[in-house]
Structure 1
Amino acid sequence: MITKKELKDIVYRVNGAAIEVHKHLGPGLLESIYHKCMIKELSLRNIKFQSELTIPIEYKGLELESDLRCDLFIEDCLVLELKALDKIAPIHVAKLMTYMNLLEAPMGLMINFNVTNIFHEGQKTYVGDYYRCLDED
Protein backbone atom coordinates (compact mmCIF):
# COMPACT_ATOMS: atom_id res chain seq x y z
CA MET A 1 0.00 0.00 0.00
CA ILE A 2 1.19 3.50 -0.79
CA THR A 3 2.02 6.00 1.95
CA LYS A 4 0.94 9.64 2.20
CA LYS A 5 4.52 10.70 1.55
CA GLU A 6 4.75 8.57 -1.63
CA LEU A 7 1.39 9.91 -2.82
CA LYS A 8 2.55 13.48 -2.25
CA ASP A 9 5.62 12.75 -4.38
CA ILE A 10 3.44 11.34 -7.19
CA VAL A 11 1.26 14.48 -7.14
CA TYR A 12 4.41 16.63 -7.28
CA ARG A 13 5.74 14.69 -10.28
CA VAL A 14 2.40 14.80 -12.13
CA ASN A 15 2.12 18.54 -11.52
CA GLY A 16 5.63 18.90 -12.94
CA ALA A 17 4.55 17.02 -16.06
CA ALA A 18 1.50 19.29 -16.46
CA ILE A 19 3.65 22.41 -16.05
CA GLU A 20 5.99 21.11 -18.76
CA VAL A 21 3.11 20.46 -21.17
CA HIS A 22 1.62 23.89 -20.46
CA LYS A 23 5.00 25.57 -20.88
CA HIS A 24 5.30 24.12 -24.40
CA LEU A 25 1.69 24.51 -25.55
CA GLY A 26 0.14 27.31 -23.51
CA PRO A 27 -3.63 27.74 -23.09
CA GLY A 28 -6.32 27.62 -25.76
CA LEU A 29 -6.13 24.10 -27.21
CA LEU A 30 -8.54 21.20 -27.00
CA GLU A 31 -8.48 18.93 -23.96
CA SER A 32 -7.64 15.96 -26.22
CA ILE A 33 -4.35 17.61 -27.25
CA TYR A 34 -3.31 18.16 -23.65
CA HIS A 35 -4.31 14.57 -22.88
CA LYS A 36 -2.04 13.21 -25.63
CA CYS A 37 0.83 15.40 -24.46
CA MET A 38 0.33 14.39 -20.82
CA ILE A 39 0.51 10.73 -21.87
CA LYS A 40 3.81 11.42 -23.60
CA GLU A 41 5.20 13.46 -20.68
CA LEU A 42 4.18 10.91 -18.05
CA SER A 43 5.84 8.19 -20.12
CA LEU A 44 9.03 10.25 -20.43
CA ARG A 45 9.06 10.62 -16.64
CA ASN A 46 8.46 6.89 -16.06
CA ILE A 47 5.19 7.53 -14.25
CA LYS A 48 2.86 4.53 -14.46
CA PHE A 49 -0.66 5.36 -15.66
CA GLN A 50 -3.78 4.08 -17.36
CA SER A 51 -5.48 6.32 -19.91
CA GLU A 52 -9.26 6.43 -20.37
CA LEU A 53 -9.71 3.80 -17.66
CA THR A 54 -13.24 2.41 -17.57
CA ILE A 55 -14.59 2.89 -14.08
CA PRO A 56 -16.52 -0.09 -12.73
CA ILE A 57 -19.96 0.49 -11.28
CA GLU A 58 -21.32 -1.81 -8.60
CA TYR A 59 -24.97 -1.42 -7.78
CA LYS A 60 -26.67 -3.56 -5.14
CA GLY A 61 -24.06 -6.27 -5.50
CA LEU A 62 -24.15 -6.31 -9.30
CA GLU A 63 -21.37 -5.07 -11.53
CA LEU A 64 -22.80 -2.96 -14.31
CA GLU A 65 -21.26 -1.97 -17.62
CA SER A 66 -20.31 1.67 -17.62
CA ASP A 67 -19.25 4.38 -20.02
CA LEU A 68 -17.48 6.25 -17.22
CA ARG A 69 -13.83 6.88 -17.97
CA CYS A 70 -11.29 8.84 -16.01
CA ASP A 71 -8.75 10.68 -18.12
CA LEU A 72 -5.73 9.20 -16.37
CA PHE A 73 -5.33 6.90 -13.37
CA ILE A 74 -1.82 7.40 -12.04
CA GLU A 75 0.11 4.71 -10.15
CA ASP A 76 -3.19 3.04 -9.13
CA CYS A 77 -3.81 5.78 -6.55
CA LEU A 78 -4.36 9.18 -8.19
CA VAL A 79 -7.29 10.14 -10.43
CA LEU A 80 -6.23 12.83 -12.88
CA GLU A 81 -8.90 14.81 -14.69
CA LEU A 82 -7.80 17.16 -17.45
CA LYS A 83 -9.76 20.21 -18.55
CA ALA A 84 -9.38 23.07 -21.01
CA LEU A 85 -12.14 25.38 -19.79
CA ASP A 86 -12.63 28.99 -18.79
CA LYS A 87 -13.77 27.85 -15.36
CA ILE A 88 -14.07 24.56 -13.47
CA ALA A 89 -17.72 24.02 -12.53
CA PRO A 90 -18.87 22.27 -9.35
CA ILE A 91 -20.08 19.31 -11.44
CA HIS A 92 -16.50 18.71 -12.64
CA VAL A 93 -15.33 18.50 -9.03
CA ALA A 94 -18.25 16.22 -8.12
CA LYS A 95 -17.35 13.93 -11.04
CA LEU A 96 -13.71 13.75 -9.93
CA MET A 97 -14.72 12.96 -6.34
CA THR A 98 -17.10 10.24 -7.53
CA TYR A 99 -14.38 8.69 -9.70
CA MET A 100 -12.04 8.74 -6.69
CA ASN A 101 -14.64 6.96 -4.59
CA LEU A 102 -15.46 4.33 -7.24
CA LEU A 103 -11.76 3.61 -7.85
CA GLU A 104 -10.97 3.76 -4.11
CA ALA A 105 -8.32 6.36 -4.88
CA PRO A 106 -7.09 8.44 -1.95
CA MET A 107 -6.45 11.55 -4.03
CA GLY A 108 -7.50 13.31 -7.20
CA LEU A 109 -5.99 16.08 -9.25
CA MET A 110 -7.87 18.47 -11.53
CA ILE A 111 -5.69 20.22 -14.08
CA ASN A 112 -7.13 22.99 -16.25
CA PHE A 113 -4.81 23.94 -19.10
CA ASN A 114 -6.88 26.95 -20.19
CA VAL A 115 -5.13 29.36 -17.83
CA THR A 116 -2.15 31.67 -18.09
CA ASN A 117 -0.34 30.30 -15.03
CA ILE A 118 -1.01 26.60 -14.52
CA PHE A 119 0.90 26.43 -11.23
CA HIS A 120 -1.25 29.08 -9.52
CA GLU A 121 -4.57 28.82 -11.36
CA GLY A 122 -4.67 25.52 -13.20
CA GLN A 123 -4.32 22.73 -10.69
CA LYS A 124 -6.15 21.68 -7.57
CA THR A 125 -5.68 18.58 -5.45
CA TYR A 126 -8.60 16.78 -3.79
CA VAL A 127 -8.41 14.35 -0.89
CA GLY A 128 -10.89 11.48 -0.79
CA ASP A 129 -12.23 9.12 1.85
CA TYR A 130 -9.45 6.57 1.26
CA TYR A 131 -6.70 9.06 2.13
CA ARG A 132 -7.12 8.60 5.86
CA CYS A 133 -6.37 4.88 5.46
CA LEU A 134 -2.82 5.60 4.26
CA ASP A 135 0.24 5.42 6.51
CA GLU A 136 2.24 8.61 7.04
CA ASP A 137 5.63 7.33 5.78
Structure 2
Amino acid sequence: MTYHHSCETYKARRHEGDDLEFEPLSREVIGAAIEVHRRLGPGLLESVYQRCLAIELEYRGIPSRQEVPVPLAYRGQTFADSYRIDLVVDDSVIVEVKSVQRLERVHQAQLLTYLRLTRIRTGLLFNFNTAVLRHGILRMRL
Protein backbone atom coordinates (compact mmCIF):
# COMPACT_ATOMS: atom_id res chain seq x y z
CA MET A 1 0.00 0.00 0.00
CA THR A 2 1.33 3.42 -0.90
CA TYR A 3 0.84 6.33 1.43
CA HIS A 4 0.78 9.91 0.29
CA HIS A 5 1.80 12.41 2.90
CA SER A 6 2.71 16.01 3.01
CA CYS A 7 4.76 17.98 5.48
CA GLU A 8 4.93 21.67 5.95
CA THR A 9 6.12 23.96 8.62
CA TYR A 10 3.65 26.31 10.20
CA LYS A 11 5.93 29.24 9.48
CA ALA A 12 6.17 28.42 5.78
CA ARG A 13 2.42 28.03 5.42
CA ARG A 14 1.75 31.33 7.19
CA HIS A 15 4.13 33.19 4.91
CA GLU A 16 2.47 31.72 1.85
CA GLY A 17 -0.78 33.18 3.10
CA ASP A 18 -2.73 29.93 2.93
CA ASP A 19 -2.91 29.11 6.62
CA LEU A 20 -6.64 28.72 6.00
CA GLU A 21 -5.91 25.24 4.64
CA PHE A 22 -5.30 24.07 8.21
CA GLU A 23 -8.51 22.56 9.45
CA PRO A 24 -9.97 24.35 12.47
CA LEU A 25 -8.89 21.68 14.97
CA SER A 26 -5.24 21.87 13.88
CA ARG A 27 -5.34 25.64 14.22
CA GLU A 28 -6.82 25.31 17.72
CA VAL A 29 -4.12 22.84 18.79
CA ILE A 30 -1.40 25.06 17.35
CA GLY A 31 -2.87 28.03 19.22
CA ALA A 32 -2.90 26.03 22.46
CA ALA A 33 0.73 24.97 21.95
CA ILE A 34 1.77 28.56 21.27
CA GLU A 35 0.07 29.63 24.51
CA VAL A 36 1.93 26.94 26.48
CA HIS A 37 5.22 28.03 24.92
CA ARG A 38 4.44 31.70 25.57
CA ARG A 39 3.86 30.96 29.25
CA LEU A 40 6.73 28.49 29.82
CA GLY A 41 9.37 29.33 27.21
CA PRO A 42 11.94 26.85 25.89
CA GLY A 43 14.24 24.55 27.84
CA LEU A 44 11.89 22.26 29.79
CA LEU A 45 11.33 18.52 29.50
CA GLU A 46 9.02 17.14 26.84
CA SER A 47 6.81 15.57 29.51
CA VAL A 48 6.19 19.01 31.06
CA TYR A 49 5.11 20.51 27.73
CA GLN A 50 2.93 17.48 27.01
CA ARG A 51 1.10 17.76 30.33
CA CYS A 52 0.70 21.52 30.03
CA LEU A 53 -0.59 21.21 26.47
CA ALA A 54 -3.18 18.67 27.65
CA ILE A 55 -4.23 21.13 30.37
CA GLU A 56 -4.44 23.99 27.86
CA LEU A 57 -6.56 21.87 25.50
CA GLU A 58 -8.87 20.92 28.36
CA TYR A 59 -9.10 24.59 29.36
CA ARG A 60 -10.21 25.35 25.79
CA GLY A 61 -12.78 22.54 25.81
CA ILE A 62 -10.87 20.36 23.34
CA PRO A 63 -10.82 16.65 24.26
CA SER A 64 -7.47 14.88 24.24
CA ARG A 65 -5.85 11.74 25.59
CA GLN A 66 -2.22 11.42 26.72
CA GLU A 67 0.20 8.50 26.29
CA VAL A 68 -2.15 6.62 23.99
CA PRO A 69 -0.93 3.06 23.34
CA VAL A 70 -0.65 1.98 19.72
CA PRO A 71 -0.74 -1.75 19.08
CA LEU A 72 1.51 -3.25 16.43
CA ALA A 73 0.78 -6.53 14.67
CA TYR A 74 3.52 -8.62 13.13
CA ARG A 75 3.00 -12.10 11.66
CA GLY A 76 -0.11 -12.72 13.68
CA GLN A 77 1.33 -11.46 16.95
CA THR A 78 0.06 -8.22 18.45
CA PHE A 79 2.14 -6.07 20.76
CA ALA A 80 -0.34 -3.94 22.70
CA ASP A 81 2.04 -1.28 24.02
CA SER A 82 4.65 -1.08 21.28
CA TYR A 83 4.32 2.68 20.98
CA ARG A 84 2.74 5.50 22.94
CA ILE A 85 1.49 8.64 21.26
CA ASP A 86 2.01 11.81 23.31
CA LEU A 87 -1.46 13.22 22.62
CA VAL A 88 -4.44 12.30 20.48
CA VAL A 89 -6.74 15.28 20.13
CA ASP A 90 -10.44 14.66 19.54
CA ASP A 91 -9.54 11.28 18.00
CA SER A 92 -8.48 13.08 14.82
CA VAL A 93 -5.07 14.76 15.35
CA ILE A 94 -1.91 13.11 16.66
CA VAL A 95 0.44 15.43 18.55
CA GLU A 96 4.07 14.57 19.21
CA VAL A 97 5.93 16.83 21.61
CA LYS A 98 9.69 17.33 21.43
CA SER A 99 12.16 19.56 23.22
CA VAL A 100 15.29 19.11 21.14
CA GLN A 101 17.98 21.22 19.51
CA ARG A 102 16.24 20.74 16.16
CA LEU A 103 13.68 18.44 14.61
CA GLU A 104 15.23 15.55 12.71
CA ARG A 105 13.89 13.23 10.02
CA VAL A 106 13.52 10.48 12.63
CA HIS A 107 10.97 12.65 14.46
CA GLN A 108 9.00 13.04 11.24
CA ALA A 109 9.26 9.29 10.60
CA GLN A 110 7.94 8.60 14.10
CA LEU A 111 4.88 10.79 13.53
CA LEU A 112 4.30 9.30 10.08
CA THR A 113 4.43 5.79 11.58
CA TYR A 114 1.82 6.76 14.18
CA LEU A 115 -0.41 8.17 11.45
CA ARG A 116 -0.13 4.97 9.42
CA LEU A 117 -0.71 2.65 12.39
CA THR A 118 -3.74 4.56 13.67
CA ARG A 119 -5.13 5.65 10.29
CA ILE A 120 -5.49 9.15 11.69
CA ARG A 121 -4.81 11.56 8.85
CA THR A 122 -3.36 14.63 10.58
CA GLY A 123 -0.34 14.94 12.83
CA LEU A 124 1.41 17.86 14.49
CA LEU A 125 5.00 17.79 15.66
CA PHE A 126 5.99 20.51 18.12
CA ASN A 127 9.55 21.34 19.14
CA PHE A 128 9.18 23.47 22.25
CA ASN A 129 12.93 24.09 22.45
CA THR A 130 12.80 27.09 20.12
CA ALA A 131 12.79 30.80 20.84
CA VAL A 132 9.55 31.19 18.84
CA LEU A 133 7.34 28.09 18.68
CA ARG A 134 6.09 28.73 15.15
CA HIS A 135 9.63 27.85 14.00
CA GLY A 136 9.25 24.43 15.67
CA ILE A 137 5.92 23.31 14.23
CA LEU A 138 5.54 20.65 11.57
CA ARG A 139 2.20 19.43 10.24
CA MET A 140 1.88 16.10 8.43
CA ARG A 141 -1.06 14.61 6.58
CA LEU A 142 -1.59 11.17 5.11
State the match for 1:8 in structure 2.
Answer: 23
Matches within 5 A, 1:14-29: 14-29=29-44
Alignment match, 2:74: 59
Tell me what 1:32 maps to.
47
Q: Percent identity of the aligned residues?
A: 36
Match for residue 138 of structure 2 among 111, 124, 127? 124
Q: Distance in 1 between matches of 2:24 and 2:76?
A: 35
Q: Give RMSD over aligned pairs.
A: 1.5
Structure 2: 5+ residue runs without aligned partners? 1-19
TM-score for the superposition, normalised by structure 1: 0.84
Matched letter for residue 127 of structure 1: R
TM-score, with structure 2 as normaliser: 0.81
Matches within 5 A, 1:25-104: 25-104=40-119
Whole-angstrom CA distance in 2 between matches of 1:31 and 1:75: 21
Question: Higher strand share goes to which structure?
Answer: 2
Q: Distance in 1 between matches of 2:60 and 2:79?
A: 35
**Deviation of residue 66 (structure 1)?**
2.6
Please state how far the C-alpha of 1:35 moved relative to its aligned partner: 1.0
Question: CA shift at 1:60, angstroms?
Answer: 3.3
Q: Which residue of 2 aligns with 1:114?
A: 129
Structure 1 gaps, min length 5: 129-137
